[in-house]
């Protein structure tokens, strides 16, 4: 008996050869949440959980072809962007993204191992092209500082201030991920015009590679299923907390998420 394809979502990001982040992690999350995962690869990285050894950027025309190929066949219910890397890539994506489909922008700038993943000048193009059309922007604390201009974020109040500044750049919602805030809890704050929601979970004593990618992918998956942003935030926060609790240890000692059976 024939089965219909599940709801589709598309990740636009770089490939992580170690499998813990990027395209590979996003597709695992989509699969675990019952979403048919599509991908547009923006860069190929040679990396593991310890380091990024090299990056090869995919040329913008090929990014455009990938976008057009998936859009021509699939009913894509949500997109997310991760590592974009270059200004030309961002402009190519901006030209092809349909206006009416939810968009999660994870503004990936630096890897967990502190390797730069965005070329000089590309951040301004990201702010100009993608943030104003984003449904949700999901910065971690370093990315929130880079986008907001704050020099330090050490408290939830400072995370709120950063989020409000990013909100002024045009997205409908900003989710500041507070996993690295001091304290015993990992508190995330979701902001929209005149509204905010905070969810805090106990901090777990592990270093996790790719958690931010998986979090934004879960958010994208729930939006693809038709959830409102607030509900998608709550479901994704619970999902990522469970995934960290059941994470597996890579040979380096760093943990990676394993959203499998």
pLDDT per residue as tens digits for the range 212-228: 999 999 999 999 999 99
Asked whether residue 248 is assigned to any structural domain, the reply reads yes
pLDDT at 113: 64
* pLDDT digit string, tens, across residues 85-121: 899 999 999 999 999 999 999 999 877 666 778 888 8
**60 in a domain, yes or no?**
yes
The per-residue pLDDT for range 59-87, each reduced to its tens digit, is 999 999 999 999 999 999 999 999 998 99
Helix/strand/coil for 123: helix
Integer Cα distance of 108 and 118 in angstroms:
8
Residue range 129-163, pLDDT digits in tens: 999 999 999 999 999 999 999 999 999 999 999 99
pLDDT computed for residue 216 by the predictor:
97
- The token duo for 111 is 């890897």
Flag whether pLDDT at 173 surpasses 90: yes
Are residues 39 and 16 in contact, defined by beta-carbon separation less than 8 angstroms?
A: no
Within a domain: 208: yes
User: Among the ranges 34-43, 47-56, 173-182, 251-260, which has the highest mean pLDDT value?
Assistant: 34-43
pLDDT at res. 112: 67
Instruction: Return the bridge partners of 249, or none.
Output: 255
Whole-number average pLDDT of the chain: 93
Q: Is residue 241 part of a domain?
A: yes
> Which of 198, 142, 134, 197 lies closest to 167 in space, CA to CA?
134
Q: What pLDDT is attached to residue 261?
A: 60
Q: Which pLDDT value is given to residue 56?
A: 95
Residue 15 has pLDDT above 80, yes or no: yes
Q: How far apart are CA 28 and CA 80, in angstroms?
A: 14
Could you tell me the residue range of the domain that residue 107 belongs to?
8-256
Looking at residue 233, which CATH number applies to its domain?
A: 3.40.1190.20
- Which residue, among 98, 148, 160, 21, has the nearest Cα to 29 in the 3D structure? 21
Q: How confident is the model over 33-63, as pLDDT tens digits?
A: 999 999 999 999 999 999 999 999 999 999 9
Examine the pLDDT at 205 and tell me if it is beyond 90: no
Tell me if 160 is assigned to some domain. yes
Judge whether 3 lies within some domain.
no
Q: Does 1 fall in a domain?
A: no
Around Cβ 4, how many Cβ atoms within 10 Å? Answer: 5
More reliable by pLDDT, 180 or 142: 142
Q: Would you state the pLDDT for residue 172?
A: 98
Specify the number of domains making up the chain.
1
Residue 261 covered by a domain = no
């Amino acid at each position: 008996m024939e089965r219909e394809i599940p709801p589709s979502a598309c990740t636009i990001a770089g490939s992580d050869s170690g499998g813990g982040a990027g395209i590979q992690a996003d597709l695992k999350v989509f699969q675990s949440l019952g979403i048919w995962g599509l991908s547009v690869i923006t860069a190929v990285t040679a990396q593991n959980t310890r380091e990024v050894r090299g990056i090869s950027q995919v040329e913008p025309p090929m990014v455009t072809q990938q976008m057009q190929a998936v859009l021509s066949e699939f009913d894509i219910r949500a997109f997310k962007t991760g590592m974009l890397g270059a200004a030309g890539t961002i402009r190519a994506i901006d030209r092809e993204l349909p206006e009416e489909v939810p968009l999660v922008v994870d503004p990936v700038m630096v890897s967990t191992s502190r390797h730069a993943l965005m070329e000089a000048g590309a951040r301004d193009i990201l702010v100009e092209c993608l943030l104003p059309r984003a449904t949700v922007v999901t910065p971690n604390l370093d990315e929130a500082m880079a986008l907001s201009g704050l020099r330090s974020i050490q408290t939830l109040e400072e995370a709120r201030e950063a989020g409000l500044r990013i909100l002024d750049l045009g997205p409908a919602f900003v989710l500041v991920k507070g996993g690295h805030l001091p304290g015993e809890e990992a508190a995330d704050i979701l902001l929209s015009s005149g509204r905010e929601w905070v969810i805090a979970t106990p901090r777990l004593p592990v270093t996790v590679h790719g958690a931010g990618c998986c979090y934004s992918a879960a958010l994208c998956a729930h939006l693809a299923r038709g959830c409102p942003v607030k509900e998608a935030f709550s479901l994704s926060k619970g999902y990522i907390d469970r995934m960290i609790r059941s994470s597996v240890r890579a040979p380096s000692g760093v943990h990676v998420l394993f959203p499998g059976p």
